[in-house]
């Protein structure tokens, strides 16, 4: 039994195609595999946990996401190594993804952390952290 582990995370997105393009390559780089695909839903799974992206209804798109409001601030993932953080950072830059705290990169997480912070298409902050 996996008592206490996260079963799944479900994120509503403004544009499912953009989110699939962004998250698909990243999650697959981290070892996730496509899990479910429906017309307005796509998910990736790693072990017993999965992440689901759902197209938000038009009537709920008038207020965009902001990580400083009540709710989710960011998602942080373990990287395999510092080299993987560097490789993914390079890919993010090639894709034109906004790298956060670039003036402190790769140590923006504080002493002892080797990480990259960036934003998904809805500006959800994502963090990739190398092992210490």
- What are the sequence ranges of the domains in the chain? 1-58, 73-132
- Measured CA to CA, the distance from residue 50 to residue 28 in angstroms comes to 12
Contacts of residue 70, Cβ cutoff 8 Å, sequence gap at least 6 = none
> The pTM is what?
0.91
In the block, residue with structure tokens 């938000």 = 56
Under CATH, domain 73-132 is a member of which superfamily? 2,3-Dihydroxybiphenyl 1,2-Dioxygenase, domain 1 (3.10.180.10)
Averaged pLDDT for residues 11-18: 97
For 1-58, the fitting CATH number among 3.30.110.70, 3.40.50.300, 1.20.210.10, 3.10.180.10 is 3.10.180.10
pLDDT digits (tens, 9 = 90+) for 92-122: 999 999 999 999 989 988 778 899 999 999 9
Picking from 44, 42, 21, 43, the residue whose alpha carbon sits closest to that of residue 91 is: 21
């Amino acid at each position: 039994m996996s008592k206490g582990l996260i079963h799944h995370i479900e994120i509503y997105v403004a544009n499912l195609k953009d989110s699939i393009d962004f998250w698909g390559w990243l999650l697959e780089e981290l070892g996730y595999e496509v899990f479910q695909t429906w017309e307005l839903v796509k998910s990736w799974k790693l072990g017993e946990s999965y992440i689901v992206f759902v197209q938000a209804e038009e009537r709920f798109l008038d207020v965009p996401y902001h990580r400083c409001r009540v709710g989710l601030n960011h998602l942080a993932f373990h990287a395999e190594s510092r080299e993987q953080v560097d490789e993914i950072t390079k890919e993010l830059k090639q894709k034109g993804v906004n790298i956060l705290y670039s003036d402190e990169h790769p140590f923006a997480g504080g002493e002892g952390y080797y990480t990259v912070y960036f934003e998904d298409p809805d500006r959800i902050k994502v963090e990739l952290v190398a092992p210490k």
